[in-house]
């Protein structure tokens, strides 16, 4: 068992997610919203967020993989599972667990924009700005965190710890990151 220390508590996550939902409720009042979650990491966040939205909401998911070694991803991103539905003419909000190097989203945003949604926004629960390699325009960030490998609330370490109800830091880290 790895040693994990709490970085962001369950209560702090809930408070912040409510604030992020309130913002969307305000900005998209009277409109429909289409949430796109990037599997698997954003699943917990997208569900908690969706439960707090008051407009008509639809949801879709996609799965991507980025190639690289260790905890570095590189610029090459592949869509492993694409969206089930077209997004043309919809108000899309892409929901990410964490923006690290920025490689994944700097690839995905133009791909989805080219499908002509009526609007597209990117929100992320966590951001590690110190690790950014590609500039990504993020519309809302839950928490800015330091350069540390984190788990929980959807984020994994070798596929484990996604189920933790808080965000924690793995003290002894010797593995690969996973989507």
Which active-site residues does the annotation give? 100
**Residue 155 engages ligand IMP in binding (rule: CB under 6 A):** yes
Give the nearer residue to Mg ion in terms of CB position, either 28 or 157.
157
Beta carbons of 153 and 13 less than 8 angstroms apart: yes
**Residue 150 engages ligand IMP in binding (rule: CB under 6 A):** yes
Binding to ligand IMP in span 77-106, by CB under 6 A: 96-104
Tokens 């979650």, located at residue: 37
Q: Establish whether the linkage from the previous residue to 40 is cis, with ω within 30° of 0.
A: yes
Please name which of 18, 1, 2 lies closest in space to residue 171, comparing C-alpha atoms.
2
Residues 137 and 72: their CA atoms lie apart, in Å, by: 21
Q: How far is CA 35 from CA 78, 160, 169, in A?
A: 20, 25, 28
Give the x/- contact pattern for ligand IMP in 16-55, rule: CB under 6 A. -------------------------x--------------
Answer for which of 33, 45, 61, 66 binds ligand IMP (CB under 6 A) is 66
Which residue ranges make up the site for ligand IMP (CB under 6 A)?
A: 41, 66, 73, 96-104, 149-151, 155-156, 177, 179
């Amino acid at each position: 068992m790895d040693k994990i220390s709490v970085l962001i508590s369950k209560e702090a996550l809930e408070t912040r997610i409510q604030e992020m939902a309130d913002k969307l409720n305000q900005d998209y009042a009277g409109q429909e919203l289409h949430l796109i979650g990037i599997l698997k990491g954003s699943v917990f966040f997208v569900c908690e967020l969706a439960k707090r939205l008051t407009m008509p909401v639809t949801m879709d998911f996609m799965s991507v993989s980025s190639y690289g070694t260790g905890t570095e991803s590189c610029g090459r991103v592949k869509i492993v599972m694409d969206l089930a539905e077209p997004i043309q003419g919809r108000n899309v909000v892409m929901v990410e667990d964490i923006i690290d190097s920025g490689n994944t989203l700097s690839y995905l945003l133009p791909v989805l924009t080219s499908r002509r949604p009526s609007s597209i926004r990117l929100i992320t629960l966590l951001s590690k700005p110190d690790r950014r390699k590609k500039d990504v325009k993020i519309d809302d960030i839950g928490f800015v965190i330091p350069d540390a490998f984190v788990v929980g609330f959807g984020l994994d370490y070798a596929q484990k710890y996604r189920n933790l109800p808080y965000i924690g830091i793995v003290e002894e880290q010797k593995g690969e990151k996973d989507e």
